[in-house]
Amino acid sequence: MPVSPRNTAFTRVTALAGQRPVHAAFAWMHGNPKRIMDWQAELVAIPAPPFGEQARSAWLKAHFEKAGLASVQVDSVGNVLGFLPAPNLSPESTGSIVVLSAHIDTVFPAETTLDPVVNGERLEAPGSCDNGAGVVGILAIAHALATNTIALPASLLFLGNVGEEGEGDLRGVRHLYSQSALASRIAAHIVLDGAGADSAVTQALGSRRYQVVVTGPGGHSFTDAGTPNPIAALASALAVLAETPLPHEPRTTLNLGTIQGGTSVNSIPESAQASIDCRSTNSDQLVRLEVALHRAVEDAVERANASAKTGATPSKGVLAFAIHKIGDRPAAHLPADSPLLETLRAVDRHLGLRTDLRLGSTDANIPLSLSIPALSMGAGGEGGGAHTKSEWYSAKDREVGLKRVLLLTLAMTEWAAEQ
């Protein structure tokens, strides 16, 4: 894939910023801060736990249509799609597409009290920043572009996707790239996630998550003594796994997140289960930890069964185990010479900003793992308390963040049309 030299990227951005329709789009964003904040308060009042995003999908679909986007639709998993300009969506179409996306789900259970409170530029509510800021960011960009009829050389897909948080396992963006006929046409992907205008996630932190279940016949703690105990076997496996050596580089972590099982203090449990989270910047390390997990559990169960069979008290049965993968986010990175990164630096130069490149686990993991230029960035403003009920967002400096996103997006549609 050809690389745009730095001066070419800056020339492209400077030329775009000087166009009258782009100035008009900037003016729309400058003149509508209350409107954008009202959208954000409406959005975060709608519960959207993983696998329960339907109401937010309906809200965003209606707002995409009001913005004037074309071919607005909700796909089979709940993603909301809208386009500028109206694209040719036939299976034979080959024109390049740039994606601007934000996840609509939150970490909070459906029964969480939301009650957003707006005080001037500040919004307080669970999910107000992550990812209320990102969702209304793409909506503001859609209005600014559609209202001012800016000519786009390549189609721009606005995507409000489901399933980014937790057990959602990036299912919305994963669906786009694995099931949609559009996937082969995507030239670049920009993700809006949270607040800020001074950083971008360009290195995708890989993770694999597992649920381990050990089962057995169970029984009475005294009369059935000698029957193998699922909790004891699982605890033994976890103790061994916790001692697995982890390298500092590439940075790799292993977390024993939950453990459950048993009925009462005087019962031999019939089952025990645990959840494990492995993360690394390197895919090979994730494979190594998966092997270590399987070995630790298998060995512990075999030892427990062998001990029970040779014990003085006859065993009623033996243990069995199952290991289920419940999450898999690929590790990847955006090359230093990527045209997307060069263009972001050019936008920063034009706006007088500086971007710190960061590591993270975001929707950008999927396109990056497919060698598609992608990054995740903030939608402007400030925020805090993410993933807590005291989460907040401030729209202070939101405008410069949205200008940053707009210029980057427009420049990438020009780049995509040239490929």
Q: What does the domain layout of the chain look like in residue ranges?
A: 6-204+332-418, 206-329
Domain 6-204+332-418: CATH superfamily is Zn peptidases (3.40.630.10)
Per-residue pLDDT, 4: 44
Angle at which helix 33-44 crosses helix 132-147, to 10 degrees, equals 140
Peptide bond into 88 cis (omega under 30): no
* The pLDDT of residue 380 is above 50: yes
- The pLDDT score that the predictor gives to residue 72 is 97
Confidence band for 1, pLDDT divided at 50, 70 and 90: very low
**Average pLDDT for 379-405:** 97
Confidence of residue 151 (pLDDT cuts 50, 70, 90): confident
Q: Calculate mean pLDDT across residues 19-26.
A: 96
Whether residue 332 has pLDDT greater than 90:
yes
Other CB atoms within a 10 A radius of the CB of residue 94 amount to 7
pLDDT in tens, 86-128: 788 877 788 999 999 999 999 999 999 999 999 999 999 999 9
Task: Tell me what the pLDDT averaged over the chain comes to.
Answer: 94
Structure confidence at residue 280 (pLDDT): 97
Contacts of 87 (CB under 8 A, 6+ apart): 70, 71, 93, 95, 97, 155, 157
Give 250-288 pLDDT, tens digit per residue: 999 999 999 999 999 999 999 999 999 999 999 999 999
As a whole number, mean pLDDT of residues 338-357 equals 97
Would you state the structure tokens that stand for residue 150, as one six-digit string?
């800016």
Q: Report the C-alpha gap between 23 and 169 in whole angstroms.
A: 39
CA atoms within 13 A on the CB side of 272: 24
Is the CATH code 3.30.70.360 the one for domain 206-329?
Answer: yes
Per-residue pLDDT at 62 exceeds 80: yes
Of 81-95, 126-140, 173-187, 339-353, which gets the smallest average pLDDT? 81-95
Q: Name the pLDDT band for 311 (thresholds 50, 70, 90).
A: low
Looking at residue 412, its pLDDT comes to 97
364 has a pLDDT exceeding 80: yes
